[in-house]
Structure 1
Amino acid sequence: MKRILFLPLVFLGMSIQLVQSAETPALIERPGSGNVPTQVSVGIWIVDINNIDSAQQNFTADIAVVLRWKDARLAHTGTGAVHYALDQIWTPRVSIANETSSVVRKLPESAEVEPNGTVLYRQRYVGPFTQPLRLESFPFDRQNFRIHFVAIRYRPDEVAFLPDENWIRDGLQKAAGISRSITLPDWTVEKWDAKPSVYALTPGLQYSGYVFEFTASRNVLHYILKVILPLVLIVMMSWSVFWTEPTNSNTQFSIAVTSMLTLIAYRFAVDTQLPRLPYMTRLDVFFLVSTLLVFLSLIEVLVTTILDNNDQVARAKKLDRYCRVIVPVIFVIASIAIFAHPRG
């Protein structure tokens, strides 16, 4: 009876062991394990950058990546490339540090192995990538963007990334580049770079990595024509109270209050383009100066109305004449101070 009970227990234990071994794949040693790092060549091509979202602090891109390394254990006598699933061979386990959960991998997770043991892995990533932005100079800003590839589990002394020599021989500088036909309407890409870069997950925990960086400047014509120019016109509309007779206080109040309400509504419309920032952008400062000057016009109307009610029309007109010069001069000087210095 004990023997009969013992046999099922043995089979149960063997089944559990087989299931556990199937669920936990063995970690394949990297080629040339030892003191010499495994060299992995990288080629990166930016197919498209179709959006930079300042409010969400990300950019959407289409990226083609080629990784190449040598693994003599996979050399074969065939005439063509042999395809392997990534879990069947050693790979540098590359991921993108700043990718979001919406990034899609367009190509199968497999690799090609040539007869001499050269392994070729291709992938295409499409989706949004996070990027913290410094927006103090918005909308006259210049931003740096990066795509950081990281070899999970491997330190810089274990895996070394370097530009793909085949791409360089084919004329691609640094084995990377950006397509000239990117669909990015409101930004201009000024320069780019690709280089090895250590990724520090936490202090003391560093992984080997490779980074593609590009610098882009915002095209300001849209903001000048559709944001700044209308704002200037709203402020100038409020100045019409200085040319209105103090005896016509109803008209003056109507103009000043309308200018103030229009400015506030306009401010809410522009705020949707930016995240909630703990600092002020250039456009914020310009809005603040404009709001203060429109409010100053409203205060001036109140003062001239009081003077008119006290039969001091001459003093009210004199105040209007001063404001016709002082307020525009303040606005011009403030605008130059805000927008004259170079891009941030």
Structure 2
Amino acid sequence: MAMEAIEAMRANPIAKLLTQIEQNTRSERTAVLYKTRQELGAEKVKVKIKANIYAITDIDNVKQEFTANLAVRARWKEPLMQGMSKTAEIDWDDQWNPRLELDNSVVIRNFDRKYELKYFKSDKEDKIPHVCLTMNISATFKEMFELDEFPLDYQALNIWIISEWPFSQLELIKDDEYKDHLSLCTFTESKEWYLYPQLIGEPVGEPQEIDETEEKPEQYPLYTITVQVKRLHQFYMWNHVFFMFALFLIGLSTFSIPYTDVGSRIIGAVLILLCALMYRLHMQPSLPIVAYWTALDKFNMAVLLCHILILMEHAVIGKIAQSPTISVVTQAGQADYACLGAIVCIMMIILIYFIAFFVQTLMKRNKFLEEETKNFEETNAEIEAKHGVKKDKDKNQWKYEAPPSDPMKRRVHPINGESPRLIHYQREEITRKSGRGQQALLPPLPPPSAANLAANIRMTREDYINPKEATHEMKIAMPPAVLEQAGRRSRSTSQTRGRISRSRNRVGSEQTQTETSDEE
């Protein structure tokens, strides 16, 4: 009786309308989330995640944000749909879903969800299908950059996907049958960053680490999709490090002024110090805003400290040089040279330390990233060896191949038979492929002999269709009889078109005369 009542309600249009109103008035959080997995009679779900990142754009150093366009596929076995056809009409609003959301998104421009019912090779035995949830995402994500070694740093750009079901009901794992994909050709920040090919997807936190006996807040599964980039440091080395060092060398030029001329020395040192400070303030917007010193900040502050030491040295030595005692003035000159040597030694120590830090950091960074790339390639090789190449075949993809050297086998390069205005030369006939099917251009020819084939049919590299513009017709030198027959057919077609055009003009002039007489 209960089933009959439910069927009657479904057949009733008023009941359907009320159900639609109920679905439209649900909040986003409670839309289909009131049914737990246990209530539906199923066990804990393992959701497999596969990611395809199409583009990484707008890596902002100041805001520590980046923009990504990606597609994430989550699939899980659904025993409640066992035996159902993948073309069956299913109301996905009334089905269980993993409640996946973006955890570190700042601005979401697009977040489309699409559900599909699919049968994979592993589903042939139990006949239990997989529900595939494909999420097309375009959003800006927040990431706390690690900038201690800036500008010699590398960053892990993380996209956090979290489920609103706790660990006791759901677990997010990597899809070990399909490879993750990262598009490198659409990377728009290549002038400042270098994008590595590895796309690392892994869950954060294991259910075994959670002690469910203790009374603690529920913990939720988290999955990270990580892209690794390293900064191209050349801009900062030339525009920050080299410029600040050049200002330090200019500051040493104030020692060429006699130490007795205290005013000129101090004015020159103050002007150079102000130039360094103004340049530092001018370049500040291009630097990340963090609460600690980066490697570049430490170098800049060391150079500014040397400028301050130069200014203090000029003031002290100048004061001593104003003494009326000749011996004191002579000692002041010697002390001036000693201070110059000390300041140069301090700057050399700073440079040696920075160069050693530069080399060590670069070697450590490159070694780590190369190991990550190697591990990613090994993981993909294991997937291919275990499950084969798992990817969707695109019918429109094709590969251009050079024409064979044998003239008997040379033909127009095919584009899987999909391109219009594509001409195939065959020994039996010449046809043109279009949206209306194959149309014979010329009648079949007798098969040519191998001796005179090269003389009758001259085909060069220009005769092949351009892969980018599949509109060029092939140039074929045909026998005179065939060319004459084609010319007669072309002339007859032109004459027919001329008669039709003249008849249309005559009908049009008669209509014009009739309209003129009606107006009169």
Q: TM-score, normalised by structure 1?
A: 0.79
Residue number in structure 2 paired with 1:224: 237
1:57, distance to aligned residue in structure 2 (A): 2.5
Residue number in structure 2 paired with 1:109: 113
SS in 1 for 2:238: helix
Counterpart pick for 1:134 among 131, 146, 153: 146
Unaligned runs of 5+ in 1: 1-15
Inter-CA distance 32–41: structure 2 relative to 1 (3 Å threshold): farther
Distance 2:68 2:91 in 1: 26
Structure showing greater relative contact order (alpha-carbon pairs closer than 8 Å, 6 or more residues apart)? 1
**1:59–1:129 contact (8 Å) kept in structure 2:** yes
**2:42–2:79 contact (8 Å) kept in structure 1:** no
Residue number in structure 2 paired with 1:262: 275
Distance 1:155 1:220 in 2: 43
Counterpart pick for 1:177 among 181, 198, 211: 181
1:52, distance to aligned residue in structure 2 (A): 2.7
In structure 1, what residue type is equivalent to 2:117? V
Inter-CA distance 148–86: structure 2 relative to 1 (3 Å threshold): farther
Residue number in structure 1 paired with 2:219: 206
SS in 2 for 1:135: coil
**Structure with bigger gyration radius:** 2
Structure number with the higher strand fraction is: 1
Inter-CA distance 114–326: structure 2 relative to 1 (3 Å threshold): same
Unaligned runs of 5+ in 2: 1-17, 120-127, 208-215, 366-520
Inter-CA distance 336–44: structure 2 relative to 1 (3 Å threshold): same
1:308, distance to aligned residue in structure 2 (A): 3.6
**1:82–1:112 contact (8 Å) kept in structure 2:** no
Greater mean deviation of Cα atoms: 310-319 or 128-137: 310-319
RMSD between superposed Cα atoms in Å: 3.3
1:89, distance to aligned residue in structure 2 (A): 2.5
Is 1:41 matched up with 2:48? Answer: yes
SS in 2 for 1:205: coil
Greater mean deviation of Cα atoms: 180-189 or 310-319: 310-319
SS in 2 for 1:340: helix
**1:285–1:338 contact (8 Å) kept in structure 2:** no
SS in 1 for 2:277: helix
Distance 1:76 1:137 in 2: 57
**1:47–1:62 contact (8 Å) kept in structure 2:** yes
Counterpart pick for 2:253 among 214, 234, 240: 240
SS in 1 for 2:298: helix
Q: Percent identity?
A: 22
CA deviations over 1:259-291 (Å, ceiling 9, x no partner): 111111122233324454332222222222111
Distance 1:339 1:240 in 2: 24
Inter-CA distance 231–21: structure 2 relative to 1 (3 Å threshold): closer
Counterpart pick for 2:63 among 56, 67, 74: 56
Counterpart pick for 2:101 among 84, 95, 102: 95
In structure 2, what residue type is equivalent to 1:221? Q
Counterpart pick for 1:23 among 4, 22, 25: 25
Inter-CA distance 199–134: structure 2 relative to 1 (3 Å threshold): farther
SS in 1 for 2:283: helix
Count of residue pairs brought into register by the alignment: 316
Distance 1:21 1:217 in 2: 47
Residue number in structure 1 paired with 2:171: 160
Q: TM-score, normalised by structure 2?
A: 0.54
Distance 1:109 1:215 in 2: 27
1:44, distance to aligned residue in structure 2 (A): 0.6
Q: How does 1:291-310 map to 2 (within 5 A)?
A: 291-310=304-323
**2:151–2:231 contact (8 Å) kept in structure 1:** yes
